[in-house]
Amino acid sequence: MALFNVEETDLKYIKEVPFKLEKDIQTICENNMRQLIGCNFIKSEFSVGNFRLDSLGFDDNSSSFVIVEYKRDKNFSVIDQGYAYLSLMLNHKSDFILEYNETTGKNLKRSDIEWSQSKVVFIAPSFTTYQKEAIGFKDLPIELYEIRQYANKTISFTQILTKRSVESIKMISKNDEALDAISKELKVYTEEEKKEFGTQEIQELYEKLKSMILNIGDDISIRPTKLYIAFLRKTNFCDINIQKNQLKIWLNVTKGNIDDAKQLLRDVSNIGHHGNGDYELTIDSDSDIEYVTSLIRQSYNQCE
């Protein structure tokens, strides 16, 4: 990706400055982990078993651990290394919990963690075509991000998104007991799977609302989870649960900080609920969809 400064009517090329050390990438990412990949930084150089993990993070939204590795070279297998780390975690759960509790001062229990949502994130200046294609399986709990720095002190950070295959990673793990065991314990949810809970009419309603949400801004990403489909800016601003005959929507806004003239929102600040934020609403038709989108926009704006 070429970057330019605009000087009156001329474009001045901004030179990319290669990272000298993996540690330079690590420092930037650990100091900004929540902003970059949406999880809290827990530990640097976390040692467990015979491995030392570059960074350990924790995703509060999915209640799961995130293992982060940094690379300057391209000579590694994302699947082999990723699954080695996931296997390590699933076989040393108590070590991960202990580290989390000692670092945060909290008292997380094994049952509080959604182990099936665990994942490995690789961050590097670039990846090979083979590495990018390797993450195309529909149920692979591995993510790739490219990070680059430029002469004007600018950083670009981009997730590598490939067209997800209908094939499962289990197709290549039939004779690999370790890989098969991990695949059985982990679960990567897809948007298509979540949509199947609704009738055809509700699926169409979701697609219409989704399109309107994505038009709010160009910095929105979608992340299907066990309980809902999350729409994120810097964090979740809207969570949607597709039910058979309706969409249940949560807005990540604290009580009293949203303008709801039609009073469609329900205050769930003191009620247990799945999504993020203090407000919930349901829709079963597109009659109020523009108004609902305006409510979602308010939540989006508060995630600046």
Bigger pLDDT: 166 vs 161: 161
SS3 at position 129: helix
Q: Which residues contact 184 (CB under 8 A, 6 or more apart)?
A: none
Q: 260-293: buried (b, 16+ CB within 10 Å) or exposed (e) per residue?
A: eeeebbeebeeeebebbbbbbbebeeeeeeeebb
Secondary structure letter of residue 197 according to DSSP: T
pLDDT score of 177 more than 80: no
Does the pLDDT value for residue 175 go beyond 80?
no
**Could you identify the residue written with the tokens 């949502």?**
117
Share of the chain above pLDDT 70, in %: 93
- Give the number of other CB atoms < 10 A from CB of residue 99: 18
Let me know if 58 is exposed, middle or buried by CB neighbors in 10 A (0-12, 13-18, 19+). Answer: buried
Q: Are β-strands 155-159 and 221-224 bridged in parallel, bridged antiparallel, or unpaired?
A: unpaired
One-letter amino acid of 6: V
The 10s digit of each residue's pLDDT in 67-89 is: 999 998 877 788 888 888 999 99
Q: Please report how many Cα atoms fall inside a 13 Å half-sphere around the Cα of residue 34, on the Cβ side.
A: 9
Predicted TM-score (pTM) above 0.85: no
